[in-house]
Chain A
Amino acid sequence: MMTPKNNIIIGIIVALLVVTSYNIDANPFDFAEGIPNLAIILEEMVAVEPKYIPTALWAMFETIQMAFIGTVVGVVIALPLSMLAARNLNSKFVYAPIRALLAAIRTFPSILWAILFVIMVGLGPFAGVLAVIMYTIGFVAKLQYESIEAIDSDPVDAVSSIGVSKWQLIRYVVIPESAPHLLSQILYMFDYNIRQTSILGLVGAGGIGFYIINYIKFFEYGKAAIFMLVVLVTVLIIDWVSVKIRDKYIMKSQHGMEVTTK
């Protein structure tokens, strides 16, 4: 294991770590010194008046609504795109440009989309919703064309041998066969979108993040922390709920899929 070559590589990595940390001013001692600040924030949190809690919950609710709209609209746009992007359904002239477009959409992190839309439509939740839509399109379309490409080719062959049209094939075979994956993908995406919508406010695109960044700007760390706690709890709840839904509906159908024709 510890060949001279490995030693050299480890040496280089350690050296790079030191140099880059120095460059970006990352000092472990600063971190240690900062720990007592947490106690101060905790103190401030306890001191925050309870009347802020409904505000925090309302802001979280706004965030969830943004994520909801973004997910639904994004999925609706992503589905036809994924059909066009699937290699087993289209010629290269169709799927190649669509895939390139989707890849381009995905290269932008959602926060950059949010900045772009804040510039386009102004500050507020609408910019955030648009960002979530873009991000959802890029991801769900990819997940979905991959599951379309992975569907069992036997029913596809059997039904195409009836001489049905391509749209019938998609409507009656491809969609039902890839539907169980779609449900779990949508749940995953909604879950993910709630988390990312929580931070889109940092660039002015609405939701709970907008409050958090403003409290931080005015050094009201206690309030910021309360709002962050609300995000944390909400995400945990949503995670738990979506695991339950997935267990109930998706595990069942996937179990069914394992039952072979034999």
Chain B
Amino acid sequence: MKQIQMTKNPSFSLISTNKIIQLNDIWTSYDSKIFALEGINMSIDRGANYAIVGQSGSGKSTLLKLMNGMMIPSKGTIKIDYVTPNMNDKKFKKMMHTIGYIPQSLGLIKNITVLDNILIGALPRLNKLQSLFKQFPESEIKEAKRIMELVGLDGKENRKAYMLSGGEKRRVVIARALMQKPTILLADEIVSELDHVTAHEIMDLIADAQKRMNLTAIMVHHDIQLALEYANRVAVIKDGQKILEIGVEGDSIVDFQTGDMTNEEIMEMYYDDSKK
């Protein structure tokens, strides 16, 4: 269906129109010796909910940092809408305005209010004078309040961020990202530390936002069950390599990487891996 939509737009080439993110043989290292990622290939559909799972240290966070230009690969190419991510590049820096990135630590500013934290997402739209005097236009404040309602934070706008519960903190950072009017949302294990119910609430929230806005979500998860529940595709990373790419179709799990593994083989492979 998406393909049909895209063909209407003549500026897109037919082959890769629906791929918003493409990683081609990506190798990365923090210190020249060891590679954190070893030859990752990934291609993500526009509008998809894409999940990345794997053990701690497997390279999930590194992948997200590459996608938002905070890191640059040592080898290989990444394209986000045909642009190579690099936060020092003017063209990409502009794209960053509409890439919501939520780090594992959330990155809330603790001593300011919920509303002020959310308005941060609108900073790229302010002119110099407005941002110097912290004069957000009325329309932006309205938008922030609308989003707060959407994520279930109404009435909490004047609460200081440090006073919030874990679930509420997630709602604030999601609202901050939505305030960016994002096309892409990158979220790093934002529900891993939450209880089952709250984690689902937060995931539902993101799924809902995805439906409203034409949003592509790339989310890192710890729990493969949760990932399969929400994502179209789940990439399993192990020691810097993508060992699996799976998705749910109907009642069964489909292997998109090799194309010939059965359901049981996939789960076995994953659970073997996570037991170690």
A residues whose Cβ falls under 8 Å from a Cβ of B: 152, 154-165, 167-168, 171-173, 176-177, 179-180, 253, 256-257, 259, 261-262
- In the A-B complex, the 4 residue pairs with the smallest Cβ-Cβ separation, listed nearest first, are A158-B107, A163-B96, A256-B162, A154-B105
Contact residues of A: prevailing secondary structure: helix
| Cα of A162 to Cα of B123 in the assembled complex, Å | 9
Nearest opposing residue in chain A for B70, CB measure: A161
| Cα of A259 to Cα of B124 in the assembled complex, Å | 29
Q: Chain A residues with Cβ under 8 A from B204's Cβ?
A: none
- Contacts A163-B97, A163-B124, A171-B132; A157 near B162 (Cβ below 8 A): no
A161 touching B99 by the CB < 8 A rule?
yes
B124 touching A162 by the CB < 8 A rule?
yes
- Contacts A160-B87, A162-B180, A163-B96; A257 near B111 (Cβ below 8 A): yes
| Cα of A176 to Cα of B161 in the assembled complex, Å | 12
B166 touching A262 by the CB < 8 A rule?
yes
A161 touching B101 by the CB < 8 A rule?
yes
B52 close to chain A: CB less than 8 A: no
Q: Mark B87-111, 1 if CB is under 8 A from A, else 0.
A: 1000001111101011101111111
5 pairs, CB–CB < 8 Å, chain A vs chain B: A155-B108, A161-B101, A176-B109, A176-B111, A179-B111
B134 close to chain A: CB less than 8 A: yes
Q: Chain B residues with Cβ under 8 A from A165's Cβ?
A: 131
Q: Chain B residues with Cβ under 8 A from A253's Cβ?
A: 111
| Cα of A173 to Cα of B111 in the assembled complex, Å | 10
B185 smallest CB distance to A (angstroms): 12
Nearest opposing residue in chain A for B180, CB measure: A162
Q: Which of B93, B97, B106, B120 has its CB near the most chain A CB atoms (within 10 A)?
A: B120
Q: Mark B23-57, 1 if CB is under 8 A from A, else 0.
A: 00000000000000000000000000000000000
Q: Chain A residues with Cβ under 8 A from B97's Cβ?
A: 162-163
Nearest opposing residue in chain B for A178, CB measure: B111
Q: Chain A residues with Cβ under 8 A from B95's Cβ?
A: 163
* Contact-size category for B: 35 or more
Nearest opposing residue in chain B for A151, CB measure: B109
A154 smallest CB distance to B (angstroms): 4
B131 touching A171 by the CB < 8 A rule?
yes
Q: Which of B96, B102, B111, B173 has its CB near the most chain A CB atoms (within 10 A)?
A: B111
A162 touching B131 by the CB < 8 A rule?
no
| Cα of A255 to Cα of B107 in the assembled complex, Å | 18
B193 close to chain A: CB less than 8 A: yes
B60 close to chain A: CB less than 8 A: no
B240 close to chain A: CB less than 8 A: no
- Contacts A161-B99, A163-B93, A163-B97; A261 near B169 (Cβ below 8 A): yes
Q: Which of B93, B101, B107 has its CB near the most chain A CB atoms (within 10 A)?
A: B107
| Residues of chain B in range 131-165 having any CB-CB distance to chain A below 8 Å | 131-132, 134, 160, 162-163
Task: A155-B108, A162-B97, A261-B105 given; name 20 further pairs at CB < 8 Å.
Answer: A154-B105, A154-B107, A156-B107, A157-B70, A157-B107, A158-B101, A159-B107, A159-B109, A160-B87, A161-B69, A162-B123, A162-B124, A163-B87, A163-B93, A163-B124, A167-B131, A173-B109, A256-B163, A259-B110, A261-B106
Q: Mark B75-95, 1 if CB is under 8 A from A, else 0.
A: 000000000000100000111
B218 smallest CB distance to A (angstroms): 14
| Cα of A157 to Cα of B99 in the assembled complex, Å | 14
- Contacts A177-B109, A256-B110, A261-B105; A163 near B94 (Cβ below 8 A): yes
B121 close to chain A: CB less than 8 A: yes
Q: Chain B residues with Cβ under 8 A from A179's Cβ?
A: 111
A172 touching B120 by the CB < 8 A rule?
yes
Q: Chain A residues with Cβ under 8 A from B267's Cβ?
A: none
Q: Chain A residues with Cβ under 8 A from B103's Cβ?
A: 154, 157-158, 161
| Cα of A158 to Cα of B193 in the assembled complex, Å | 19
Nearest opposing residue in chain A for B102, CB measure: A158
| Cα of A179 to Cα of B116 in the assembled complex, Å | 15
Nearest opposing residue in chain A for B95, CB measure: A163
- Contacts A171-B131, A256-B160, A261-B169; A162 near B120 (Cβ below 8 A): yes
Q: Indicate which residue in B87, B101, B102, B162 contacts A257 across the interface (CB closer than 8 Å).
A: B162
Q: Chain A residues with Cβ under 8 A from B193's Cβ?
A: 262
B124 touching A177 by the CB < 8 A rule?
no
